[in-house]
Structure 1
Amino acid sequence: MTTTIRELDGVEALARVAELVEVLRDCVEGGASVGFMLPLAKGRPEAFWRSVAEGVAAGERHLFVAEDDAGRICGTLSLVIDMPDNQPHRADVSKMLVHRRARRQGVAERLLRALEVKARELGKTTLVLDTVTGSDASRLYERTGWLKAGDIPNYALMPDGPFCSTTYYFLHL
């Protein structure tokens, strides 16, 4: 499968909420701890993505997507730039999601690289993110030069209920 990475504006993000929900649903049902529990509450994923689209439209974040050969969204990643006044140089990386049908094809790394380019364009010098300790995502971040800040035991829950540890990473651009 060939994928295209691009940034969505707020209008397009809102128009593609159903596709974004599909990717989120697949990830959560596949066991990803990304802020949602099983079973997914009715309307919650849609509300989340509408809120993201509003944040994009307001200039608070940038939303990147991976599209497959058919033009369907198969991955997402956000750069959150709405930071406190004393942190104009920093941004958070949020919601790295890749549909199971598109995994092991470099989609996550390409999304991450596009986000890093955008962050540099915006003058950001420090990026921060968190992920489940020992996950495929943590291995990706370490492989691509992100530095481990530390682990927090029992930080979050897996979608089916058990606790999981979270690792924080940062990257100086």
Structure 2
Amino acid sequence: MEIKRLTAEELDARIADFAALLHACVSEGASVNFIAPFTMADAESFWRRKVLPRLGEGGLVLLAVVMEGRIAGSIQLDCDTPPNQPHRADVKKVLVHPDFQRRGIGRAMMSAIEEEARQRGRWLLTLDTRSGDKGEPLYIGSGYQVAGIVPYYSRDVHRPAFDAATFLYKLMPWAPMDTAASGPAGAGNSIAG
């Protein structure tokens, strides 16, 4: 298994492969912001319009897993946070192609994205997932804590229904603060030093 950080140029060169990955995941029911019908053109448009420009600007990290010459998975780290959140990043679009699931790709990508966060000085990682989704045990098994659940958060991919979302976070080991001191806003949460 090879995990590679991609440049905008590398993504552009393999945009059809990434579109195929996203299309396959959404077709299998992945709740990653899209609803059926979802075409290959829709998938390609996402990568061209939403990811490619941000990747070129440098606020987004894209990792891909290549297996058997195919894009088997991808994960994003969004470091384009507001000025008061330079320590935080969002883990986004954790995708594993249905043909390659149950091979440890998700866990490997989570570890790799944490290393990318460490290199960028980001020590609080956040993400959200459809409550009860098959990715939820992966995130919890990777050390993420549930912050809360929001009911009716998004439309279901295939059904005329609404799904709850689980919001999770992980405080990384290189955080420069005493994690025991964390608590509600205004409770003296400051970085020691």
* 5+ long unaligned stretches in structure 2: 173-193
Q: Is the 8 A contact 1:10 1:53 kept in 2?
A: yes
What aligned pairs does 1:26-45 form with structure 2 within 5 A after superposition?
26-40=24-38, 43-45=41-43
Residue ranges of structure 1 left out of the alignment (5+ in a row): none
Deviation at 1:111, TM superposition (A): 0.7
Rounded Cα–Cα distance in structure 2 between residues aligned with 1:53 and 1:111 = 20
Partner-residue secondary structure (3-state), 1:43: helix
Q: Report the CA distance between 1:112 and its aligned residue.
A: 0.8
- Give 1:89's aligned residue: 87
Runs of 4+ in 1 over 3 A off after TM superposition: none
TM-score (norm 2): 0.85
- Give SS of 1:148's match: strand
Instruction: Tell me, yes or no, if the aligned pair for 1:32 and 1:158 is still in contact at 8 Å.
Output: no
Residue of 157, 160, 177 corresponding to 1:159: 157
CA contact 2:19–2:40 (8 Å) conserved in 1? no
Map 1:31-70 to 2 at 5 A: 31-40=29-38, 43-50=41-48, 51-69=50-68
Query: By how many angstroms is 1:41 displaced?
Result: 5.0
Partner of 1:172: 171
RMSD between superposed Cα atoms in Å: 1.1
Q: Partner of 2:71 in structure 1?
A: 73
Tell me what 1:144 maps to: 142
Given the two structures, how large is their TM-score scaled by the length of structure 1?
0.95
Higher relative contact order (CA 8 A, sep 6+): 1
After TM superposition, list the pairs within 5 Å mapping 1:126-145 onto structure 2: 126-145=124-143
Tell me which structure has the larger Cα radius of gyration.
Answer: 2
After TM superposition, give the deviation of residue 44 of structure 1 in Å. Answer: 2.4
More displaced stretch, 38-47 vs 80-89: 38-47
**For residues 158 and 125 of structure 2, what CA distance do their matches in structure 1 show?**
29
What percent of counterpart residues are identical?
36
2:23·2:39 contact (CA, 8 Å) conserved in 1?
A: no
Number of equivalences: 170
Q: Take 2:4 and 2:165, find their aligned partners in 1: how far apart are those partners? A: 28
Deviations 1:12-68 (A, max 9, x none): 011111111101111111011111111115632212101312211110100011111
2:184 aligns with: none
Q: Is the 8 A contact 1:63 1:76 kept in 2?
A: yes
CA distance in 2, matches of 1:99, 1:41: 16
Distance 1:93 1:42 in 2: 24
